[in-house]
C-alpha cells in the first residue's frame, strides 16, 4: 500500500465523517471561513495570502458540502465568511437573513475522472451508462450533485451510481483509491488530483457550470475583515490564484 493511497483513504474517512479542518495557530483574531469542499486547495492558498497581508489574523478554514455549511450557518455556527458552490445553497442562507449581497467570484465545470489505470476503459461521459462501470457521484442535494444531475439530464443519460456521496472530495477519493471505475467531479478537483486520476473531458457545449458565491455572515464578529476576505476573492490576486487552479472567472 502506498502512502498516497492511504492518505486518500484517510481523506475519504475524514471528509465523509463531515469533520472540519482547522488551520489554527495562535493569533489575535481568528477569521472563520466555511467553504465548499471543491474550494479546498484554492482557499488554503488564499487564506495564506490573507494571513500574510493581515498580520495577527488567523484564517480558520472549514470545508464541507455546501448544503451542510449553509445548514450550519443557519443553525448559528460561528462563521465569518461563507463560500458555497451554488446559488441555491447560498439562497438558503440569504433567505433566512443570515447573509446579504453574496458575490459570484468564480465558476467551475464538471469532468469525468477514472482511476489512473482506467481498467474499465472510460473514454466518454456516455461510458458511465455502460453496465459494470461502477460510478460515484455527489448526492443531488449538494451543488456538485445538482450540477451532475443537470449534466446527465441534458445529455439524456441514465446512470445508476454506486454511491451518492455527501461532497465532491469523497467522490474523488473513491476514484483515486480505485474503489470505483469513474466519478464526476469538478474540473478543479481533477486538476488538483494530477496523475492520480485519468480525466475524460466533457465537451463544453454539453457541460454544466456552477457559480461560486461568497458572503459575509450576518452575525460575523469581524464584518470588516470578513468583507476584506470576500474582496480578495474577486480581486486580481484572488482571480489569479483561482485561475491557476482551473476555476473560470464569473
Partner 1 sequence: MTRSAMTERAPWYFVIPGAVAIAFLALPVVALLAQAPWGDLAALLTSEAALVALRLSLVTSIAATLVSLVLGIPLAWLMSRSRAFGSAWVRALVTLPLVLPPVVGGVALLLAFGRRGLAGQVLYDVLGIQIPFTTAAVVIAEAFVAMPFLIITVEGALRSSNRRLEQAAATLGADRWTVFRRITLPLVLPSIAAGAVLCWARALGEFGATLTFAGSFPGVTRTMPLAVYAALDVDRSEAIALSVVLLLVSVAILVSLRGQFLQGLRR
Q: Where are the alpha helices (DSSP H) in the chain?
A: 3-16, 40-53, 66-74, 87-95, 143-154, 168-176, 187-193, 223-234, 236-244
Which residues lie across from 217 on neighbouring strands?
A: 99
136 near partner 1 (CB under 8 A): yes
Among 57, 102, 166, 169, binds partner 1 (CB under 8 A): 166
Please report whether residue 235 would count as binding partner 1 according to CB under 8 A. no
Burial 233-243 (b: 16+ CB within 10 A, else e): bbeeebbebbe
Which of 21, 103, 163, 234: binder of partner 1 (CB under 8 A)? 163
Among positions 4, 10, 96, 124, the unique one binding partner 1 when judged by CB under 8 A? 10
Helix and strand numbers (H, E) in the chain are 9, 9
159 binds partner 1 (CB under 8 A): no
Please report how close the Cβ of residue 178 comes to partner 1 at its closest, in angstroms: 5
Those residues whose C-beta lies under 8 Å from the C-beta of residue 12, and which sit 6 or more positions away, are 170, 173, 174, 177
Beta carbons within 8 Å of 68's beta carbon, 6+ residues apart:
18, 142, 166, 167
Give the list of residues 6+ apart from residue 2 with CB closer than 8 angstroms, or none: none
The site map against partner 1 for 167-206 (x = CB under 8 A) is -------x--xxxx--------------------------
Query: Which window, 39-47, 77-85, 136-144, 197-205, contacts partner 1 (CB under 8 A)?
Result: 136-144
Pick 1 or 236: Cβ nearer partner 1? 1
Residues 31 to 90 in contact with partner 1, rule: CB under 8 A:
65, 67-68, 70-71
Which residues partner with 112 through β-bridges?
184, 200
Site for partner 1 contains 218 (CB under 8 A): no
Residues that bind partner 1 (CB under 8 A): 1, 5-6, 9-10, 12-14, 16-18, 65, 67-68, 70-71, 134, 136, 139, 141-142, 161-166, 174, 177-180
Amino acid at each position: 500500500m502506498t502512502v498516497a493511497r492511504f492518505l486518500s483513504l484517510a481523506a475519504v474517512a475524514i471528509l465523509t465523517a463531515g469533520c472540519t479542518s482547522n488551520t489554527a495557530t495562535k493569533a489575535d483574531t481568528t477569521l472563520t471561513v466555511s467553504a465548499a469542499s471543491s474550494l479546498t486547495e484554492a482557499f488554503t492558498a488564499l487564506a495564506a495570502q490573507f494571513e500574510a497581508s493581515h498580520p495577527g489574523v488567523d484564517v480558520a478554514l472549514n470545508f464541507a458540502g455546501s448544503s451542510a455549511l449553509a445548514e450550519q450557518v443557519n443553525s448559528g455556527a460561528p462563521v465569518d465568511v461563507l463560500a458555497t458552490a451554488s446559488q441555491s445553497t447560498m439562497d438558503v442562507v440569504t433567505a433566512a437573513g443570515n447573509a446579504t449581497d453574496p458575490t459570484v467570484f468564480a465558476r467551475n465545470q464538471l469532468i469525468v475522472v477514472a482511476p489512473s489505470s482506467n481498467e474499465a476503459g472510460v473514454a466518454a461521459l456516455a461510458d458511465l451508462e455502460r453496465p459494470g462501470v461502477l460510478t460515484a457521484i455527489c448526492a443531488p442535494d449538494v451543488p456538485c450533485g445538482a450540477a451532475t444531475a443537470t449534466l446527465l439530464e441534458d445529455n439524456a443519460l441514465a446512470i445508476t451510481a454506486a454511491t451518492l456521496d455527501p461532497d465532491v472530495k469523497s467522490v474523488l477519493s473513491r476514484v483515486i483509491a480505485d474503489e470505483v471505475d469513474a466519478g464526476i467531479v469538478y474540473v478543479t478537483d481533477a486538476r488538483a488530483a494530477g496523475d492520480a486520476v485519468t480525466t475524460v473531458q466533457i465537451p463544453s457545449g454539453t457541460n454544466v457550470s456552477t457559480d461560486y458565491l461568497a458572503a459575509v455572515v450576518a452575525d460575523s464578529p469581524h464584518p470588516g475583515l470578513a468583507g476584506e476576505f470576500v474582496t480578495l476573492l474577486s480581486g486580481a490576486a484572488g482571480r489569479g490564484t483561482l485561475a491557476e487552479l482551473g476555476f473560470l472567472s464569473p
